[in-house]
Amino acid sequence: MALLQISEPGLSTAPHQHRLAVGIDLGTTNSLVATVRNGVAVVLHDENGRALLPSVVRYQPEQPPVVGYAAQQVQAHDPYNTVVSVKRFMGRVLHDIADAGSFPYRFVDAPGMVQLRTADGVKSPVEVSADILRALRERAEHSLGGELTGAVITVPAYFDDAQRQATKDAARLAGLEVLRLLNEPTAAAIAYGLDNAAEGIYAVYDLGGGTFDISILRLSQGVFEVLATNGDSALGGDDFDQRLFCWMLEQARFPDLTAQDNRLLLNHARFAKEALTEHPETRITAVLSSGFTIDLTLTAVQFNEMTATLVSKTLSPVRRALRDAGLSTKDVQGVVMVGGATRMPCIQSAVATLFGQTPLNNLDPDKVVALGAAMQANVLAGNRREDDDWLLLDVTPLSLGIETMGGLVEKIIPRNTTIPVARAQEFTTYKDGQTAMSIHVLQGERELVSDCRSLARFELRGIPSMVAGAARIRVALQVDADGLLSVSAQELQTGVSAAVTVRPSFGLHDDDVSRMLQDGFNHAKEDMTARALQEARVEAGRLLDATQSALDEDGERLLDMDEFSEIVASMRELAECVPGMDYALIQQMTERLNQVTQTFAARRMNMRVREALAGQSVNDLMS
């Protein structure tokens, strides 16, 4: 009690003031922001009433970045400058990204973290994420009518230190005060557990757009205790799209694909995957930039076959987490499903089979993480109420260690240790008269240094000259409640010490952050012409995508060959002028495409009406 009483003045200065705090789910595919309003967690919508913000950012020269739906709509037309799934690159160097060749981006192989070359210059994944976070911050401040006190940002439980640090840097760049980095499955467990007054052992299976986590928790009298976590920070719904995309390439022997075609086909892969959630089969039709038409039929059975290895790649971590927790599937009371990708029937049935029970789907898998983060943010900001008497105890997902002789890693903090945690280990010199020692901190489960992720490397100098083995060097690792690591080393006889925060080797330097903050400020001074061009492009992008989906749905049955090619030609003309700077030309071509599709639109409407009438007459007969 003593510590709480000491902190009482901080609480009592403004006892009735509600601090504005939000929870942000910074997802691979979509991001959300939520808050607690009148004691209830709610997702904040944009001005059009939409909860999701696609995690897509488009960069154009000398213009503010376009974030969300507007960027998503043009991604197939401007794939180089429209960044999707940036979360996959956070804290990663180019050689970490196994499938780099399948992305349309112009990667720049920078030390510490990969960068992307766009029309608006080279961007770090941290900057791109910051642009997404800034859009969410603006949404929240607009919606809540005031400045935010702070935010809880969620990260995959299986994110390593570099990825966590990059996320925190991005939030800082976006002008957010980070109250906590919170693991996504844990956030989901809060939302589920508090809503259902759940008690017992629960598993959270979280398959997002680009990451997979499994967490095993014990819920007991308001304490959410993570017992074990496991996962794959490079496995998600995107990989299912990619598998489908490869299948499409195998089926139809395409001419050379442009970057635009790749993005278009990936989008179609995603639509097809989503369609198969509801239907036993789906048809994929698309027109490539060369005019080449794709028309394929895909059944759920085929889809399940081609993605079976991906599904089983999620089950091994589940078994490992259970094993680490010392539990079996029979001990698990319920399995909470999180992430849009868990809607796939193949995932639902694989999880049901493994656990021998129907998974819990009563919360929206897209929103549950943001809602849990909002609840946590509310409490962390100091709005805790009498009935908010709950506590979270999380773990570090990966073991932390130090390099020893022979390129081996000595583990100091094993995975699944409850955080915050500090551990120290003593090392000694191995040569007579050795006055410096290099300390190399690693994260991972393997024995060899080369198989683990290097987090920091620093030197302890000024060790007095002694015989080999006489010096005693104590290396201490501390992991805080955000799961972030700091390291210090000390020679015990002389007191010579060195400390590092892990940030400089993987995150951004403070100079970088201030430069980027300045850039962001300059962006605010956009001029009217730029805005007009911007709007014209968005409008063009919207029309192109709408036309494409109309063609996909009804083109074959409602248009003859000439009509079809006239529309496709007009689409191509518009698509070609969109990246240019001539906004009048874009508007003109937009108008033209609108005209050539008029008849098509009329026919589509007629058909809808007919179908509706047909449906009604059936109903009439039945009543």
Closest distance to other proteins from the beta carbon of 173 (Å): 20
Closest CA to 23 of 154, 184, 186: 154
Closest distance to other proteins from the beta carbon of 493 (Å): 19
Angle CA(473)–CA(475)–CA(480) in degrees, nearest 5?
A: 160
Closest distance to other proteins from the beta carbon of 598 (Å): 58
561 binds other proteins (CB under 8 A): no
Residues 320-379 binding other proteins (CB under 8 A) are 320, 323, 376, 379
The amino acid at residue 346 is: C
Instruction: Using the minimum distance from each CB to other proteins, give the nearer residue, 190 or 567.
Output: 190
Q: Which residues are catalytic?
A: 25, 87, 184, 206
Asked if residues 335 and 357 have their Cβ atoms less than 8 Å apart, the reply is yes
Instruction: Using the minimum distance from each CB to other proteins, give the nearer residue, 327 or 481.
Output: 481
Asked if residues 328 and 322 have their Cβ atoms less than 8 Å apart, the reply is yes
Asked if residues 53 and 28 have their Cβ atoms less than 8 Å apart, the reply is no
The amino acid at residue 89 is: F
Instruction: Using the minimum distance from each CB to other proteins, give the nearer residue, 345 or 420.
Output: 420
Q: What is the distance of C-alpha 401 from the center of its chain?
A: 27
17 binds other proteins (CB under 8 A): no
Residues 203-222 binding other proteins (CB under 8 A) are 220-221
Give the separation between CA 88 and CA 211, rounded to whole angstroms. 8
Give the separation between CA 317 and CA 229, rounded to whole angstroms. 8
Indicate the pairing of strand 223-232 with strand 391-393: parallel
477 binds other proteins (CB under 8 A): no
Contacting range for other proteins; rule: CB under 8 A; set: 6-14, 190-198, 251-259, 346-354: 6-14
Instruction: Using the minimum distance from each CB to other proteins, give the nearer residue, 278 or 510.
Output: 510
Secondary element (H or E) of residue 409: strand 408-413
Q: Return phi, psi of residue 207, to 5°.
A: -110, 105
Contacting range for other proteins; rule: CB under 8 A; set: 1-9, 285-293, 296-304, 583-591: 1-9
Instruction: Using the minimum distance from each CB to other proteins, give the nearer residue, 366 or 394.
Output: 394
Task: Indicate the burial class of 328 (C-beta count within 10 angstroms; 0-12, 13-18, 19 or more).
Answer: exposed
Closest distance to other proteins from the beta carbon of 559 (Å): 51
SS3 content of the chain, % helix, strand, coil (to 5): 45, 25, 30
Closest distance to other proteins from the beta carbon of 155 (Å): 16
Give the length of the chain: 623
User: Pattern of binders to other proteins over 148-187, x per CB under 8 A?
Assistant: -xx----------------------------xx-------
Residues 407-446 binding other proteins (CB under 8 A) are 417-422
Closest CA to 140 of 213, 233, 44: 44
DSSP assignment of 385-451 equals -TT---EEE-EESS-EEEEEGGGEEEEEE-TTEESSEEEEEEE--SSTT---EEEEEEESS-SBGGG
Instruction: Using the minimum distance from each CB to other proteins, give the nearer residue, 361 or 383.
Output: 383
Closest distance to other proteins from the beta carbon of 429 (Å): 17
391 binds other proteins (CB under 8 A): yes
Asked if residues 160 and 19 have their Cβ atoms less than 8 Å apart, the reply is no
- β-partners of residue 337 are 205
223 binds other proteins (CB under 8 A): yes
DSSP assignment of 18-73 equals PP-EEEEEE-SSEEEEEEEETTEEEEPP-TTS---EESEEE--TTSPPEESHHHHH
User: Which positions ≥6 away from 280 have C-beta within 8 Å?
Assistant: 299, 300
Closest distance to other proteins from the beta carbon of 337 (Å): 22
Residues 567-586 binding other proteins (CB under 8 A) are none
Closest distance to other proteins from the beta carbon of 235 (Å): 14
Contacting range for other proteins; rule: CB under 8 A; set: 44-52, 387-395, 496-504, 599-607: 387-395
Instruction: Using the minimum distance from each CB to other proteins, give the nearer residue, 424 or 569.
Output: 424
480 binds other proteins (CB under 8 A): yes
478 binds other proteins (CB under 8 A): yes
140 binds other proteins (CB under 8 A): no
380 binds other proteins (CB under 8 A): yes
Tokens of 25: 């789910």
Closest CA to 457 of 487, 428, 483: 487
381 binds other proteins (CB under 8 A): yes
Instruction: Using the minimum distance from each CB to other proteins, give the nearer residue, 398 or 558.
Output: 398
The amino acid at residue 387 is: D
Give the separation between CA 53 and CA 30, rounded to whole angstroms. 5
405 binds other proteins (CB under 8 A): no
- Order the strands of the 421-427 sheet from edge to edge: 421-427, 473-479, 485-491, 497-501
319 binds other proteins (CB under 8 A): yes
Instruction: Using the minimum distance from each CB to other proteins, give the nearer residue, 426 or 591.
Output: 426
Closest distance to other proteins from the beta carbon of 13 (Å): 11
Closest distance to other proteins from the beta carbon of 3 (Å): 6
Contacting range for other proteins; rule: CB under 8 A; set: 68-76, 189-197, 243-251, 385-393: 385-393
Instruction: Using the minimum distance from each CB to other proteins, give the nearer residue, 188 or 413.
Output: 413
98 binds other proteins (CB under 8 A): no
Q: What single-letter DSSP state applies at residue 476?
A: E
The residue from 251, 290, 316, 493 that contacts other proteins (CB under 8 A) is 316
The amino acid at residue 299 is: T
Asked if residues 442 and 411 have their Cβ atoms less than 8 Å apart, the reply is no
| Largest Cα–Cα separation, the chain | 99
Contacting range for other proteins; rule: CB under 8 A; set: 96-104, 258-266, 391-399, 487-495: 391-399
476 binds other proteins (CB under 8 A): no
Give the separation between CA 67 and CA 81, rounded to whole angstroms. 12
Instruction: Using the minimum distance from each CB to other proteins, give the nearer residue, 384 or 531.
Output: 384
Q: Tell me, by CB under 8 A, how many residues bind other proteins.
A: 38
Interface positions with other proteins (CB under 8 A): 1-4, 6-7, 10, 19, 149-150, 179-180, 220-221, 223, 225, 316, 319-320, 323, 376, 379-382, 389, 391-393, 417-422, 478, 480-481
